[in-house]
Structures are given as structure tokens and as C-alpha cells.
Amino acid sequence: MSRAHTRYGLAREGWPFIVPVALSLPAALLAGWCVASGLLLLLLLFLLNFFRDPERRTPTGEGLIVAPADGKVVRAEGDASGGRIDIFMNVFNVHVNRAPCAGRIEAMRYHPGRFINASLDKASEENERNRITLRSDDGARITVVQIAGLVARRIVSYVAVGDRVEAGQRIGMIRFGSRVDCLLPEGFQPVVAVGEKVVAGETVIARRAERS
């Protein structure tokens, strides 16, 4: 199902931006507009980079939570009683978000809000955001929060309540710089630290704690 959201390695949300720029570039070249051509080329390269959507190899195994977003960990806390991992995406990261584990979408809630710098902790509570709660196959409840940032002004969701998702499946994206928080249930512990870079659908960010 996730393949419908990407074409030629690019997220479908990028095509309305990419196509007009790609068509304008040869016209500018033919007209001899050197500066405009250069700017259009740079813009096209930026858009191609931003909306890239590569395939990912998701690790398999019980009790694993994979990163829902590419980026840098700006918050990682918790213990066996639960916790959270927050990931900041700059404009050069892949912005397609992925399911942290296999399961079913239990709830979704959109919150309107501000557009402050997404790297700040208060962005989790004040910015525009979309909260997706997933019930895993073993009954754990994991919540992914897509948060708009200073530049990002549109949150896109590919899933709906009741949908079945696999670990690493595309579930949405946020345009032009943003943040994704992953709220962990009881029994899971973070295995990444602040400052680490993670890859959506590939990097294991939390594991089920071993019972003593």
C-alpha cells in the first residue's frame, strides 16, 4: 500500500512543486536568462533532494521500535515504565514518516497550533501537530506525533483509523523541516541518545525491556 505514495523515488507531495520548476528551467535557458536558469536549477535540486523517498530495510524481531522519522534525536528519556524519543528533521532530511512497529491505527487527532522552531521542546505542545496512536500486534500502544515547524506548514497523513500497518510502512510526511515525537508505552526502553542520527524505518530506537 505504501508504494502508492511514492513514484520514481519521490514522494507524491513533491510533484506539484517539482514539475513547474522542471518545465520552467528549459524555457529560461532558451530565453538566455542565465541568473534565472541558475536559480531554477538550484531550486530543482533542492526539491528533488527534499522530496526523495528511498526504500528502507526494516529490521525484524519482537519488541523492536524503529525510528518514525529521519533526523537527529533531541530528546530521549524513559525507563521500563515508558518514555519518549523526539526526532528533529532539518530541510535536508527525508521527510516521509514511517510506522514504528506493526499493528493497527487505533486513534488519530489533529491539533491546530503555532509554527515555532521544531527543535524546541515546547513545539511538542504548542505547534500544529497530528497525533497517531498505534496498537501493536502484542498489545502495546505507541503514539507518533507529527509536528509542524518554523518552515513546515503542512502535515500529511497516509493512514486512517482502523488501517493495518507494517513496521517501516510510510504513514505520512511533513513539508520543509519539522519534528516527530515517539511516545513509548510501559515495558519499552530507549536505546538511542540525544544527538544521535536515526533513519526512519531502519534505526531501532527502543526495545521491550527484559522481564526480570
The CATH number linked to 100 is 2.70.70.10
The residues pairing with 135 across neighbouring beta strands, listed in sequence order, are 104, 141
Helices (H), 31-115: 34-50
- First vs last Cα of the chain: how many Å apart? 39
Residue among 81, 82, 107 nearest 160 (CA) = 107
Decide which of 13 and 2 is more confident: 13
Least-confidence region, from 1-5, 49-53, 136-140: 1-5
Looking at the fold, whether 163 and 71 belong to one and the same domain comes out as yes
Query: What average pLDDT does the segment 94-110 reach?
Result: 95
Q: What pLDDT was estimated at residue 1?
A: 40
User: Does 58 reside within a domain?
Assistant: no
**Residue range of the domain that includes 45:** 2-50
pLDDT band of residue 71 (cuts 50, 70, 90) is: very high
Above 70 in pLDDT, residue 118? no
Looking at the fold, whether 110 and 44 belong to one and the same domain comes out as no
Query: What average pLDDT does the segment 52-62 reach?
Result: 91
Query: What average pLDDT does the segment 19-30 reach?
Result: 93
Side-chain half-sphere exposure of 138, counting CA atoms within 13 A = 11
User: Does 111 reside within a domain?
Assistant: yes
Q: How far does Cα 203 stand from its chain's mean position? A: 13
Decide which of 78 and 2 is more confident: 78
Looking at the fold, whether 154 and 76 belong to one and the same domain comes out as yes
Q: What pLDDT was estimated at residue 151?
A: 63
Total domains, the chain = 2
Q: Are the C-beta atoms of residues 184 and 129 closer than 8 Å to each other?
A: no
Q: Catalytic residue at 178? A: yes
Looking at the fold, whether 74 and 152 belong to one and the same domain comes out as yes
User: Does 55 reside within a domain?
Assistant: no
Looking at the fold, whether 146 and 73 belong to one and the same domain comes out as yes
For residue 25, the surrounding DSSP H or E stretch is helix 15-30
Looking at the fold, whether 93 and 179 belong to one and the same domain comes out as yes
User: Does 141 reside within a domain?
Assistant: yes
Distance CA 60, CA 28 (A): 49
Q: What pLDDT was estimated at residue 2?
A: 44
Looking at the fold, whether 15 and 74 belong to one and the same domain comes out as no
The three cell numbers locating residue 69: 522519522
Looking at the fold, whether 44 and 80 belong to one and the same domain comes out as no
Distance CA 50, CA 91 (A): 7
Catalytic residue among 2, 37, 119, 178: 178
